[in-house]
Chains A and B, each alone.
Chain A
Amino acid sequence: MAGTYEQPLIRNLLRWLCAVVIPFMFSIKPAKAQIPDDLRNYLERFLEQQGSGADFTEISDELSALYQQPININRAGIDELLACPLLDAQLVLGLIEHRRKFGALVHVHELQLIQGFSRELITALQPFIRLETMGERGWKNLKTYWNQGSVEALSYTWFQQGNLDPRFELKDTGVNRDRAFLGDPIRSSLRLRYYKTGVYSLALTAEKDPGEPWWQSNGPDFLSGHLAIEQIGPFNRVIIGDYHAAFGQGLLLGSGLAFSQSANVMSIKRTRTGIRPYRSVNEVRFFRGVAAQWVKNNWSLHLMYSNNKQDGLRINDSTQLEEGLIADFFNSGLHRNRKEIASRNQFSMPMFAMAMEKKFKAGTLGVSYKHDFNPGMNNSGNHLYHWFSRQNSPARLLSVYGDYTLRNIHLFFEQVRNPERANKSLGSVVGLLMSLAQNLDVSLLYRNYDQTFNNPMSIGFGNNQSNEQGCYLGAQWRIRKNIGFLCYKDIWKSNWLRYQVSSPSTGGSWLAELNYARGKQIFLYLRYRETTQARNISASLLPIDAPSVLSVKRLRFHADYPAGKNLSFSTRFECATPVVEGRARQWGSLLFHEVQMNKPVRGYRISARLSFYDVGDYLGRIYAFEGDLPYVFNVQGFYGNGSSLYVMLRKKISRSCDLYMRFSSDLNEGRGQESKTLSGMIKWSF
């Protein structure tokens, strides 16, 4: 590689260690294990819908936070319970009804009295739940808690050979000055966290992407951290630094990863609400500042101040009338060449927000308010499809949200308005979860986001957070103990243009799945999914970008099954075809076979997967979730004709140190590409 990056690796690693590790070199106790592997299938159901471009690092943090801070099932509300990956609407409504009738549970196995809770499910649930009838712990002895803290350190590095971006090879001179990558092709992150569950958390994260220099002008490319303290003074939680905040259905205040249509058909409600520390390496969509939570009886108040920076460019051309306006915002978090580095942290987005909630016996009612001190920053770029959102950037937004549980029915809603134009709703969501019978659940949701609704911190249900109206209906039926059927149908329309759609448009998607599960090791499913939406297809015969109707149909068979005492296999066949008017239909297919060890042998644990794919049309690329290093979630998009292999190894080096390695090789004959990637992670628990 004859690139221009000359910064020595060792020196840079040492600089990172000095900047990030030293503050944590005083810990005592081994950290808790990572999230269990059993959740892989659960995660794939959410992740594959997002495509391979999304950043999934956050979901690991969400799940590990749940794992490290188990839910108190005697006190948790419906939202907290639904956030647990193994609980669905029917189980949660049953548990709440049981608590209402008989009071707090005295033992976890009392759950067996509630319809749907089997012994296997209770065993699987145990890492995520706890039973406490008294209030949460507070600060009693600072020194004791400090000494009981745990440190987790993760170092992740990634090397790639072949199939490199040609911009790595460019010299940083002349015409290539704005294009040449200044860093090496290594991806690296270092994450440290010192915490005591339910008392405090102190974390620092540094990250660089391939192509980025190890050291920017003022430190690592991305540096994030927080100090969170629970039960301090009058506050239940105070966070200084980076944090997530979500209230109601996430329309007004919502950050973090959120999923919409997925094979988890009942997961339509935003359940991870409140403020919580941010620990991910995703460089956008979080708050940076101070947040505090105050709870008294059934009232709670959250106060937040944030002044995060946003990457973007202004129009510098003096011949244009729009000179000085924002040309575009960038959310990739990439700062690899001079142009990208120049766009880094260009815009300040200061804001103040508050949320007040009152809990009732059967529900919650809340109000949230947000004040942007620099509302022009909400403009999303100089594109025609942002026309309405550019015209409307209110400084103040107000939302009302709530939920209500009536026996087996759970209703929820949120509506956002501009207080200055209170007669018009900017965004609203209304939904319900119903358990119609012991084995039949239904979910229903209607959403309406006006094209003038412009809120970058919104995670409402749907494909877009603006310019969308839609309706969703999902059902889940357990036909027999081992056999289940689920389906959903979602339709939507956009009254104005969208990204890659140059006219108002409509769309829809539906999914049907028949599945069979026996024990924890056998799981089979047959799934059909179809998505129809408008899309500008460049092959159009018209001289302008006229949207065509693009429909993608997918059929998948997947089987997880055991092979011997310590081995399990996974096999999948999937075919997909994009259908566009006036274009020949082309089927693509993927077949993979995976083998993995269930328990380590002599400290080693290995898994491997071999995939064959033949996908001729880019619009019909097939996604598959691939095993990766801890805290890394990888959804691969297969396109072309070839084969792919990966092997993963985990070795426990010592009591406090684990090593993870992953080697992958991809030979894509259809596109004439070959690449090999080696990545590794060391996890220290002091």
Chain B
Amino acid sequence: MKLINPKFILLFPFPVFGLTTGNAQAPVGATSRALSGLGSLQAPGAIGIFNSPASGRWDSTRALFSEYRNFFGIRGLSSASLGFSTGIKSLRVGILWNRTGSMYLNRQELRLQLAGRISELLTLGMGLHYQKAFMTGSYQQQGKPALQLGMALKAGKKTDVLLDWLRNLSRVENDFTAQHQGTAHFRAGVRHRVSKQAGLMGEVHARYGDYPNRSILRGGLWYRYGTFTFLAGTSNGPEPLSFGAVWRKRYITIECAAGYHASLGFSPHFSASCNW
């Protein structure tokens, strides 16, 4: 059996500037951010795992920080990741380690991911996450596992329908530092390519459990111009508008994004990653 695409991924620790929180993620952190956290449509979910099994997603962390940033006063959040992936033609597997930290809060995570393309129309993915969070000097959280399942269905030449479900396997009540606030998340999204250069996306994100039940609607668009991709997104979440740009050349990807909050202004994000 011949392995294809053995790949390492490294995210450089990168400082984040701004008045509000930031979260540097690899390889699609800022991209997801630029699309108002369109989680099911970028790295995560079945297609994301299949195409890049060592990728990660921390948008629920981002959403958590966004909502509680006044409480924490978080600024200067940075992140580093290292991953490895490999696979055969229709089955991919990846492992990823990530550390995200700020002045007050640190978190480490280990992620195992597996995805398989069942047919041209259907791709399935699965992720097993284990994370541990601690606040500087005082608090250490018990390790928490979580399970993620995703499915992607081709609904036409230019359209994909994506479903993503994530459940915390250990329940921690009212824990601000939990990676996955709430016990379960469900996302359903549609991705449509308008032309070779441009596309539109939309997503419904439902959160269950200890977080108040609330659905978030998100929409986004991307536009490719040479080696650049420009992104814009909107949601009814805490950061209603977001923008970003991605530059990709060979192994290097540099991403920048900014969410715009009416009270707090822009919160910029930068990330750089290297795939080889």
Show the binding face of A for B, using Cβ within 8 Å: 434, 436-440, 442, 444, 469-471, 473, 475, 477, 487, 489, 491-493, 506-508, 510
Contacts and interface: CB of A to CB of B under 8 A. Distances in A.
Given A473-B234, A491-B260, A506-B263, A438 B195 contact: yes
B74 interface: no
Contacts of B188: none
Chief secondary structure at chain B's binding surface: strand
B197 interface: yes
A680 B262 CA distance: 48
A411 to B, nearest CB: 13
Interface string B228-248: 000010101000110100000
Nearest to A435: B198
A508 B261 CA distance: 11
Contacts of A470: 262
Interface string B194-215: 1101101000000000000000
B194 A442 contact: no
Given A438-B195, A442-B232, A444-B232, A507 B262 contact: yes
A257 to B, nearest CB: 27
Nearest to A506: B262
19 contacts: A434-B223, A436-B197, A436-B198, A437-B198, A438-B195, A439-B194, A442-B232, A444-B243, A469-B265, A471-B260, A473-B232, A473-B241, A487-B219, A489-B234, A491-B240, A491-B241, A491-B262, A506-B262, A507-B262
A436 B262 contact: no
A477 B194 contact: yes
A447 to B, nearest CB: 12
Nearest to A512: B219
A506 B219 CA distance: 22
Contacts of A437: 194-195, 197-198
B221 interface: yes
Nearest to B261: A491
Contacts of A438: 195
Given A436-B197, A491-B262, 13 more contacts: A434-B223, A437-B194, A437-B195, A437-B197, A440-B194, A440-B221, A487-B219, A491-B260, A492-B262, A493-B263, A507-B262, A508-B240, A508-B262
A450 to B, nearest CB: 14
Contacts of A436: 194-195, 197-198, 221, 223
A469 B221 CA distance: 24
B74 to A, nearest CB: 20
A477 B232 CA distance: 15
A440 B243 CA distance: 17
Which residue, of B232, B234, B243, has the highest number of chain A Cβ atoms within 10 A? Answer: B234
A36 B68 CA distance: 54
A510 B234 contact: yes
Interface residues of B, number: 18
Contacts of B232: 442, 444, 473
Contact of A475 (B221, B262, B265): B221
Of all A-B residue pairs in the complex, the 4 with the closest CB atoms, nearest first, are A437-B195, A506-B262, A436-B198, A489-B234
A444 B34 CA distance: 14
B240 A489 contact: yes
A442 B260 CA distance: 18
B257 to A, nearest CB: 14
Residue in A438, A469, A487, A489 whose Cβ sees the most chain B Cβ within 10 Å: A489
Nearest to A409: B225
Contacts of B194: 436-437, 439-440, 477
Given A436-B194, A437-B195, A510-B234, A489 B241 contact: yes
A470 B263 CA distance: 10
A675 to B, nearest CB: 41
A508 B235 CA distance: 12
A144 to B, nearest CB: 53
Contacts of B195: 436-438, 440
Nearest to A487: B219
A471 B234 CA distance: 11
A491 B242 CA distance: 11
Interface in B168-199: 194-195, 197-198
B265 to A, nearest CB: 8
B250 to A, nearest CB: 26
Nearest to A507: B262
B200 A440 contact: yes
A579 B240 CA distance: 20
B1 to A, nearest CB: 42
Contacts of A508: 240, 262
Interface in B140-178: none
B197 A471 contact: no
A438 B198 CA distance: 10
Nearest to B234: A489
B204 to A, nearest CB: 14
Contacts of B243: 444
A345 B32 CA distance: 57
A438 B196 CA distance: 11
Nearest to A489: B234
Nearest to A530: B236
A440 B198 contact: yes
A469 B263 CA distance: 9
Nearest to B196: A437
A501 to B, nearest CB: 14
Contacts of A493: 262-263
Contacts of B200: 440, 475, 477
Contacts of B262: 470, 491-493, 506-508
A492 B232 CA distance: 17
Given A437-B198, A510-B234, A442 B221 contact: yes
A473 B219 CA distance: 11
Nearest to A434: B223
A469 B262 CA distance: 8
B264 to A, nearest CB: 9
Contacts of A444: 232, 243
Contacts of B265: 469
B190 to A, nearest CB: 13
A460 B139 CA distance: 50
Contacts of A510: 234, 236, 240
A61 to B, nearest CB: 35
A146 to B, nearest CB: 54
A106 B127 CA distance: 63
Contacts of A469: 265
A507 B236 CA distance: 12
Nearest to A478: B194
